[in-house]
């Protein structure tokens, strides 16, 4: 704790998929010499590789992922959730002994279930999820301070070597994040409520607005500053990323959506029957949570 680090935490760090998240890790490593001595970036998309070269945010760029990972001590997969397990399994044979593979995916349980495969001797896989992002994507969207004071949740399995987990924890702390270790299922439930359901609702209500009669729709857009715009900000996010999140966290998300629908139905009933007390009670409860808890805990 009190020891000042004098050499980089990781020797060679390879980022697979240098989009918003991956390029932010690269930028932070550039800014802080104690994260990695050397960084390598790789992507299936040659245009992304070319852009990372132009931006000059990685020490090396290799368009061939299997070559890019060969030398790496830590390989971080920053690809969409649906690509994590296939990319991990394809790259396992190319890892060097003792390497640690990790990811940044927003869903954990179903991805972990698909990860089985032959890791090289002494190699380990440590699942992680930085709770930080924006509604933008791609290598231009990243910035070095993205993870500062944000949470990174880690969901190691029972058989994950504790020292591998400790190294990834240290890496995220060096990136500025606060870390917490939890069960993958719990992770997915929490994220379904905190992030996936709000996104689903925001995408949906944009679609609802789009189907209104032409004149009404035009005015919804004119007056969007009155709540609608803030409410739908998250709906600007990447379709592929969110498709993968919705499909891979299907059960937890649908369970939360069911609860929400039941609560919305109860509110609709109260409004339909003019049950003023129940409406005020619901509003007051929502407001309490919003105020006392959220504002106090996250001021």
Ligand X SMILES: NC(=O)c1ccc[n+]([C@@H]2O[C@H](COP(=O)([O-])OP(=O)(O)OC[C@H]3O[C@@H](n4cnc5c(N)ncnc54)[C@H](OP(=O)(O)O)[C@@H]3O)[C@@H](O)[C@H]2O)c1
Residues in the site for ligand X, rule: CB under 6 A?
A: 16-17, 19-22, 43-45, 48, 78-81, 83, 87, 104-106, 129-130, 133, 137-138, 238, 241, 245
Q: Which is nearer to its own copies, 55 or 255 (CB)?
A: 255
Q: Is 27 helix (H, G, I), strand (E, B) or coil?
A: helix
Q: How far is the CB of 256 from its own copies (least distance, A)?
A: 7
Cβ neighbors of 19 (< 8 A, separation 6 or more) are: 48, 78, 137, 138, 139, 141, 142
* Cβ neighbours around 270 below 10 Å, total: 17
Residues between 235 and 254 that touch its own copies (CB under 8 A):
235-237, 239-240, 242-243, 246-247, 250, 253-254
Q: Which of its own copies, ligand X, none sits in contact with 124, Cβ below 5 to 8 A by type?
A: none
**Within positions 58 to 87, which residues make up the interface with its own copies, using CB under 8 A?**
none
- Piece in contact with its own copies (CB under 8 A), picked from 57-65, 115-123, 159-167, 194-202: 194-202
Looking at residues 174 to 193 of the shown chain, list those that interact with its own copies (rule: CB under 8 A).
186, 189-191, 193
Least distance (Å) from its own copies to the CB of residue 167? 23
Q: How near is the Cβ of 4 to ligand X at its closest, in Å?
A: 30
- Taking CB under 8 A as the criterion, the residue among 118, 163, 207, 214 binding its own copies is 207
Among 47, 66, 93, 291, binds its own copies (CB under 8 A): 291
Q: 16: which strand partners?
A: 42, 77
228 contacts its own copies (rule: CB under 8 A)? yes
Cα–Cα distances (Å) from 16 to 139, 225, 267, 276, 284, in that order, read 12, 39, 46, 55, 46
Instruction: Give the contacts of 232 (CB within 8 A, at least 6 positions apart).
Output: 202, 205, 206, 224
Which listed option, its own copies, ligand X, none, makes contact with residue 290 (CB within 5 to 8 Å by class)? its own copies
CB of 258 to its own copies, least distance (A): 8
* Among the listed residues 38, 75, 91, 69, the one whose alpha carbon sits nearest the alpha carbon of residue 164: 75
233 binds its own copies (CB under 8 A): yes
| Planar angle of CA 172, 177, 181, nearest 5 degrees | 70
Q: How far is the CB of 153 from its own copies (least distance, A)?
A: 8
93 contact partners, CB below 8 Å, separation of at least 6: 66, 118, 120
**How many helical (H) and strand (E) elements, i.e. helices and strands, does the chain have?**
14, 9
Structure tokens belonging to residue 272: 């339909």
Residue 16 contacts which entry, ligand X, its own copies, none (Cβ below 5-8 A, type-dependent): ligand X
d(CA 149, CA 144): 12
44 binds, among ligand X, its own copies, none (CB under 5 to 8 A by kind): ligand X
Closest to 253 measured CA to CA, from 110, 59, 78: 110
End-to-end Cα distance, the chain:
26
- Binding to its own copies by CB under 8 A, coded x per residue (else -) over 123-162, reads --------xxx----------------xx-----------
Nearer to ligand X, 98 or 286 (CB): 286
User: Hey, CA dihedral for 274, 277, 278, 283, is it positive or negative?
Assistant: positive
């Amino acid at each position: 704790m009190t020891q000042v680090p004098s050499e980089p935490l990781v020797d060679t760090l390879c980022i697979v998929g240098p989009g918003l998240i991956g390029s932010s890790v690269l930028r932070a490593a550039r800014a802080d010499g104690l994260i990695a001595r050397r960084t390598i970036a790789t992507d299936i998309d040659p245009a992304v590789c070319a852009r990372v070269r132009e931006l000059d945010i990685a020490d090396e760029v290799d368009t061939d992922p299997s070559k890019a990972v060969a030398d790496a001590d830590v390989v971080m997969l920053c690809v969409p959730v649906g690509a994590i397990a296939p990319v991990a399994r394809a790259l396992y044979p190319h890892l060097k002994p003792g390497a640690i593979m990790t990811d940044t995916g927003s869903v954990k349980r179903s991805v972990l279930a698909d990860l089985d495969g032959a890791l090289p001797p002494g190699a380990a896989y440590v699942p992680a999820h930085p709770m930080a992002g924006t509604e933008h994507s791609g290598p231009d969207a990243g910035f070095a301070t993205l993870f500062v004071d944000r949470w990174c949740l880690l969901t190691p399995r029972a058989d994950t070597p504790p020292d591998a987990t400790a190294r990834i924890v240290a890496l995220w702390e060096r990136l500025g994040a606060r870390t917490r270790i939890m069960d993958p299922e719990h992770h997915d439930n929490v994220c379904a409520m905190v992030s996936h359901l709000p996104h689903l609702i925001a995408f949906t209500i944009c679609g609802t607005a789009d189907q209104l009669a032409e004149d009404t729709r035009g005015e919804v857009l004119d007056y969007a500053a009155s709540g609608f715009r803030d409410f739908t900000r998250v709906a600007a996010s990447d379709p592929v990323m969110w498709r993968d999140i919705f499909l891979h966290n299907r059960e937890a998300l649908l369970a939360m959506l069911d609860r929400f629908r039941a609560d919305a139905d109860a509110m609709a009933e109260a409004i339909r029957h003019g049950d003023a007390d129940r409406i005020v009670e619901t509003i007051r409860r929502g407001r309490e949570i919003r105020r006392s808890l959220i504002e106090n805990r996250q001021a």
